[in-house]
Structure 1
Amino acid sequence: MSTPAKPNKQDPDDARIRTHLPMRNTSRPGLITYDARDPDTRFPPIDQLRPPRGAPNVLIILIDDAGFGSSSAFGGPCQTPNAEKLAAGGLKFNRFHTTALCSPTRQALLTGRNHHSCGMGGITEIATGAPGYSSVLPNSMSPLARTLKLNGYSTAQFGKCHEVPVWETSSVGPFDAWPTGGGGFEYFYGFVGGEANQWYPSLYEGTNPVEPKKTPEEGYHLMEDMTDKAMSWIGQQKALAPDKPFFAYFAPGATHAPHHVPKEWADKYKGKFDQGWDRLREETIARQKALGVIPADCELTARHEEIPAWDAMPEALKPILRRQMEVYAGFMEFTDHHVGRLLDSLERLGILDDTLVYYIVGDNGASAEGTLNGAYNEMANFNGLAALETPEFLMARYDKLGGPESYNHYAVGWAHAMNTPYQWTKQVASHWGGTRNGTIVHWPKGIQAKGELRSQFHHVIDIAPTILEAAGLPEPVEVNGVPQDPLEGVSMLYTFNDANAAERHETQYFEMFGNRGIYHKGWTAVTKHGTPWVLVGRKTVPLDDDVWELYDTTKDWSQARDLSKQMPGKLHDLQRLWLIEASRYKVLPIDDRVVEKMNPDTAGRPVLIRGKTQLLFGGMSRLSENCVLNLKNKSHSVTAQIEVPDSGARGVIIAQGANIGGWSLYAHQGKLKYCYNVAGVNHYFVESAQPLPSGEHQVRMEFAYAGGGLGKGGEVSLFVDGQKVGEGSLPMTQAMIFSADDGCDVGEDSGAPVSPDYGPKDNAFNGRVKGVQLAIADAAESVDHLIAPEDALHMAMARQ
């Protein structure tokens, strides 16, 4: 047996008290002399803050929405040669677990605490007033990045940040939960939210919005861009402070939907998935056994009856279904390619061997949120509009899948196959398909073994204590004057050089949307409560009516043989243990509500915009839907004060959403025009009869909602200086959401364009937009269809 890895010991010459952060940076002087020339004058040199000697660089790579059976490093069909190369020089962990959802996993990773403990029982968009679900990080749980920074590390985050409470995502902050605010990162380049359009991302550098410097046609893709930024930051950090270790958190939105990838990468997989998802599962488990990442006697779990068989799918749909998987596989290989670029840059700098690298293939299982048929625009399903995407519609867009016009997701059957050999998918925290993610650890200076497997049970909360132990740093007792709650994870360092070490993480609860599970010393008790792809109109059974299953995972690796009927006593013991753990970590009360959590009023979370009006000004941009007055499912008006140049009006006055859904008020060929885009499928236009005259004018769009439920239509009227200039009908609207990341812009339409009348660049209004008022309900009513410009601000404020 190899010698176990030992944690770095604190430098004996380092007198710092590292348990209380920030550490004191001055000391009382000794003898005070009058003249600096006095031979008794003594001043210690200024000491730069550094971690203990031997503390490694740390790089965490967190892939998004990738199941255990996706990456070739763990037997999957998606080629990830850089993951394989990293594993050949390090370790594969085949019993590493996440929370089954993105925000919870990320907050748990960054704090070392269970996701309910740190307030992230769900994603930020459904936060409630309950402590375990508020999305507010307790200040008694300082993030790992802050602990490392206050101990002398350089820190940076790249990619996805989905931990900011939705009412704090605007440019007015507060920025306490942003990476470079209170998150402990000194540099951030990425996006704030659950997903990003990889071709047209809404990006921030620090807390400032920035625009990509290229278009997709010019070769832009977010994965390449953020990799370039990460390589540049690490290179600069080592050039300027080579003795200072870094902590870099590299969290691409890949491979979360939309599955955006250059066509040539998807084409590499042409014909590779013609056999369908059922046969793919069989091929994958055979590869997994050959690799040794699962035992030879592991059973392939049965496909649940809620998931259709490949042979049951319509033949007319199968070509587009195959293409969905080709695109996803190409996306994963493309992502791994850029991860490889980052790793190669560390090798060129000569620091790879002294960098503790985590390559976590998924923050949860593969996503089954793309409907049974998959989606060209995944937002259609979130709005209850999946029926718009007929087989004919999908087939007509075969060649566009994965490209800039799409916002695509694959079918449920592919997600299930990507979680081979386990049951279920993302969101389903009860079963390993939702929570078990292949993980690679590489650190040549700290790990003697190469190419070995580790099978101790571990969880994402174990990463923070592992890094602290590897760096020789104590867990902080106090940060910024606030006593800290203990870390809840268990360091994995004991496994690094001892394959046979007894596992130390013996108990772990799981919960997401009422899906529950408990692991304890090889046994699991689990119950599935909800189906992930039923997003609108989801109906669930009472919590007490859920059927629990029991598995002995020491003998049944994949949770294939339910023992609940044979061993009811054991099941009862584990159910009781789940309840104890749930009480300990703020899981209760279990909350499986959907509509109530989407509504801030019933959920109990703050909203940034109150009242019935909102006043926006020219230049305001990237306003997420949580930062803009909600105009959906109600009558409303949009009124803008503009100046039209003598050359005639052109460009966007205000727009919200993207090419996958939204609305835009703009000037086209000199005329005032309104476009309502339904899921990127239907575009409805209303246009003025005459061009806008030069000079200052007030333009207005009024929408009279027809009512009768959500997502209904209504009548649109356009006005210029109070005079009606155009009218038309909208047969339907979007009820829930336009875009996860493409927001509202005044004076332009950044990102993917709402209307096909203009492109993603050079669409800014060519005059001046002095201000825009959004109004709903009675505030949208005006007898003369005018708002006095000098009264607009007063009116907006009076209605708050």
Structure 2
Amino acid sequence: MPSDQTSPSLPTPDQSYQGPLSEDARTLAQALPPITPKRPPAGAPNILMILLDDVGFGASGAFGGPVHTPTAERLAGAGLSYTRFHTTALCSPTRAALLTGRNHHAVGMGHITETATPSPGYTSQRPDSATPLPEILRLNGYNTAQFGKCHEVPVWETGPTGPFDHWPAFSGFERFYGFIGGETNQWQPALVDGVTAIDPPDDPDYHLMSDLADKTIDYIRRQQALTPDKPFFAYFAPGATHAPHHVPKDWISKYRGQFDHGWDAVREATFQRQKELGVVAADALLTPRPAEIPAWDDVADEWKPILSRQMEVYAAFLEYADHHTGRVVDALEELGILDETLIVHMIGDNGASAEGGLNGSFMTTTAANGGGEYETPEFWTDRLDQIGGPHAYNHYAVGWAHAMCTPYQWTEQVASHYGGTRNGAIVHWPNGIEEPGGLRHQWHHVIDIAPTVLELAGITEPSTVNGVTQMPMHGTSMAYTFNEPDAPERHRTQYFELMGNRAIYDDGWTAVTKHRTPWDLLAKGGDFDEDVWELYDTTTDWTQARDLSAQYPGKLAELQMKFIIEATRFNVFPLDDRSAERMNPELAGRPTLVRGDTLRLYPGTDRLNENVVINTKNTSYSVTAAIGVPESGAEGVIVAQGGRTGGWVFMVDRGRLAFHYNYCGLERFTVTAPGALPTGAHRVHAELRYDGGGTGKGADVVLFVDGGEVARGRVERTHPLYFSFDEGLDVGRDTAMPVYEDYDAPHGTFVGALHWVQIELGKDDHNHLVDPDAQLAAALRHQ
């Protein structure tokens, strides 16, 4: 329980010495009280909080799924498995709710950060009245660290100049190592250390998952070596198993042939295992596959080996993530602190991701940029061995996502149904749990984690922080369930909402309405008043399989009104499923970091993501640079944007000025000057003269040296929407995945003098023609 030793006002006011002093310290009548470092109440546990990404309830073996997850199963066997634990159905909202203990709209995270609007529930800016859990723990004497995915920073604050108020390093975490956005390449990630972008090691065997585990283990070891009397709070959020599904080949081979029987058979087998484990009720019903997803028997034979391989890769990725999570757990055991460390393991921040489309995707950029027609069965078959490797940016098909949410309806983004919101959760704490291997069926939500941690740490929820009055946490501590398996549940009411998909849970009943289908990203949601509501009694219908709305219209009306009340309390209104207004910053009403049509950059600029640079798509633009060519000749990147999934680079290639355009990694166009650049100072210039007449069209490219034309060529197809969600713009080199595959030096690092680069947009901007629905769909594919 909270302790009187903790302060309701943080930081704790300084208590200056008020006793007698003397001129000479040697003549003091009594010794001054010693300086004592801040510590939480005695008995406060170490805390390891684990959050995996895009893992549905029916994926992990710990909850009956087909994927081997020995670490999760080990923790469940010595801890408690929560069978009715819920998230928000999407990444950013779940993470904001987890770390604040408040409902996601109440802290401005009603959707992903890329779609922020001025509406209070959708700003993506956590208010000062909702101080996050790590800051509360830090101010009470904990060491705090985060490793992995963030995706809580407003997009206009993600640049190297900040502001950094919402970054982990300024949100209570003394140490942050990971990535800021919604996804990253596991082989060559967009890493940040604190607030500084860094490169991953140049190691052909590098993988982000093992790196994050290494960094977490190193942190815990160092913390325990230096301050063993001080507890730590480590948040391990690796970003696995979000797309791209990247994993070493030897892990994939373990699953060869295991999914050839298809997603319908996987669902049925998973459901039987879930009943045997007791993680669903013995009389539960398996919900039907949505009509939008084909039966496996109806899938064309030429596609079946491709789809099976997609699932093999995903399963390998989840087991690989579980393996490295296990290394962190092993480190706790080696240090002798496993039993006293509270581990909260959430297997997913939402249901499994359905953004791969009905056939999956080899390069996730293709679906958004009009190149999906390239990914034919022949294309896939020729590249089966590349799936999961560094030359793919792959995602599995919707049918697998649905199977990974067994036994529930729907998937990620569908906040109305448990397929989108129910995730397996495990609590491991031998020093505080009397029933190892127990099941807990009380209904809980991600906002319950922060109050649980505070109660077990003996820390009072603060009423003010830095002088700002705090909104009370909305969650309910789960600690009452630890040693009372049949205790009446205390989280009795909870709303859900995301892009109009909405629901209300109240004392065992759920009223739900689905407004949008996640993989039909371009479909309009329609009028909210026309949405059809369903009613389920989940005290007798574990899986929401029997709609009782026609039988109990009065109960449905009661719950609909309760949703309105809760939605009003927590800033859900106005409901917002718009596309154009939310994807266009000016219409949405959110800031942009860079304004105007000219941007001058200097060497050392790295990894500027597409939210913080001017937009070169669907328009003409020019690139100018001041360079110096040494006698040995110049070589390398002048400026590059994007990576293997698409982008462009202005460079010197084998001494010759060149411009390369990479369309989704599928088509490449290079314009190269015929002769080498002469020694001396030069002004080099490239113009991309856009065809116009729509988006994603072709362009002519013309190269100049000191004002004179030296080459011209053709780019037949350009990106209409984006190059990459984790690659950026670099000056003087090409970090992480290369835009161009044939640089002469590592990362195409420029050889010669590079003084500045200037990008200028033309006057024929066609970005106003971008389909806002397609733009929103692109953002949702990479949340």
Is TM more than 0.5 here?
yes
Cα shift readout 1:175-206 (whole Å, capped 9, x = no counterpart):
1111112x100000101100010000011111
Which residue number in structure 2 is paired with residue 132 of structure 1? 121
Which residue number in structure 2 is paired with residue 478 of structure 1? 464
1:24-423 matches, within 5 Å, as 24-38=13-27, 40-181=29-170, 183-215=171-203, 217=204, 219-423=205-409
2:455 paired with 1:469: yes
SS, match of residue 37 in structure 1: helix
Which residue number in structure 2 is paired with residue 783 of structure 1? none
Cα shift readout 1:375-412 (whole Å, capped 9, x = no counterpart):
11112223343222112111111000000111000000
2:727 paired with 1:732: no
Equivalent-residue separation in structure 2 for 1:440 and 1:712 (angstroms): 50
Q: 1:671 aligns with which of 643, 653, 656?
A: 656
One-letter amino acid of the structure 1 residue matched with residue 337 of structure 2: I
Cα contact 2:636–2:744 (8 A) shared by 1 = no
When normalised by structure 2's length, the TM-score is 0.96
Cα shift readout 1:143-189 (whole Å, capped 9, x = no counterpart):
110000000000000000100111111111111111112x1000001
After TM superposition, give the deviation of residue 779 of structure 1 in Å.
10
After TM superposition, give the deviation of residue 476 of structure 1 in Å.
0.6
After TM superposition, give the deviation of residue 225 of structure 1 in Å.
0.5
After TM superposition, give the deviation of residue 27 of structure 1 in Å.
2.1
SS, match of residue 649 in structure 2: strand
Which residue number in structure 2 is paired with residue 629 of structure 1? 614
Structure 2 stretches lacking a partner, 5+ long: 766-783
After TM superposition, give the deviation of residue 359 of structure 1 in Å.
0.7
Cα shift readout 1:187-234 (whole Å, capped 9, x = no counterpart):
00101100010000011111111111233x2x1000001100000000
Equivalent-residue separation in structure 1 for 2:24 and 2:672 (angstroms): 82
Q: What is the Cα-based RMSD across aligned positions, in Å?
A: 1.3
Q: Give the stretch that moved more between structures: 738-747 or 670-679.
A: 670-679
Which residue number in structure 1 is paired with residue 702 of structure 2? 717
After TM superposition, give the deviation of residue 481 of structure 1 in Å.
1.1
1:550-589 matches, within 5 Å, as 550-589=535-574
One-letter amino acid of the structure 2 residue matched with residue 507 of structure 1: T
One-letter amino acid of the structure 2 residue matched with residue 199 of structure 1: W
Cα contact 1:715–1:730 (8 A) shared by 2 = yes
Cα shift readout 1:709-743 (whole Å, capped 9, x = no counterpart):
22222221111111112222222211111111111
Equivalent-residue separation in structure 2 for 1:318 and 1:651 (angstroms): 43
After TM superposition, give the deviation of residue 129 of structure 1 in Å.
1.1
Equivalent-residue separation in structure 2 for 1:406 and 1:72 (angstroms): 27
Aligned length: 765
One-letter amino acid of the structure 1 residue matched with residue 105 of structure 2: H
1:647-662 matches, within 5 Å, as 647-662=632-647
Equivalent-residue separation in structure 1 for 2:370 and 2:412 (angstroms): 20
After TM superposition, give the deviation of residue 483 of structure 1 in Å.
0.8
Q: Give the stretch that moved more between structures: 479-488 or 696-705.
A: 696-705
Which residue number in structure 2 is paired with residue 795 of structure 1? none
Cα shift readout 1:519-574 (whole Å, capped 9, x = no counterpart):
11111111111111233x33221111111111111111111111111111111111
2:585 paired with 1:597: no
Q: Give the stretch that moved more between structures: 570-579 or 190-199.
A: 570-579
One-letter amino acid of the structure 1 residue matched with residue 127 of structure 2: P
After TM superposition, give the deviation of residue 449 of structure 1 in Å.
1.3
Equivalent-residue separation in structure 1 for 2:598 and 2:227 (angstroms): 51
Cα shift readout 1:625-683 (whole Å, capped 9, x = no counterpart):
11111111111111111112221221111111110111111111111111111111111
SS, match of residue 234 in structure 1: helix
Equivalent-residue separation in structure 2 for 1:646 and 1:39 (angstroms): 74
2:504 paired with 1:515: no
Equivalent-residue separation in structure 2 for 1:706 and 1:564 (angstroms): 55
Cα contact 1:301–1:559 (8 A) shared by 2 = yes
Cα contact 1:644–1:768 (8 A) shared by 2 = yes
Equivalent-residue separation in structure 1 for 2:264 and 2:368 (angstroms): 27
2:670 paired with 1:685: yes
SS, match of residue 308 in structure 2: helix
Identity of aligned residues (%): 59
Cα contact 2:738–2:747 (8 A) shared by 1 = no
After TM superposition, give the deviation of residue 31 of structure 1 in Å.
1.8
When normalised by structure 1's length, the TM-score is 0.94
2:419 paired with 1:433: yes
SS, match of residue 48 in structure 1: coil
Cα contact 1:751–1:760 (8 A) shared by 2 = no
After TM superposition, give the deviation of residue 294 of structure 1 in Å.
0.5
One-letter amino acid of the structure 1 residue matched with residue 24 of structure 2: D
Equivalent-residue separation in structure 2 for 1:137 and 1:372 (angstroms): 35
Equivalent-residue separation in structure 2 for 1:594 and 1:512 (angstroms): 14
SS, match of residue 27 in structure 2: coil
After TM superposition, give the deviation of residue 55 of structure 1 in Å.
0.2
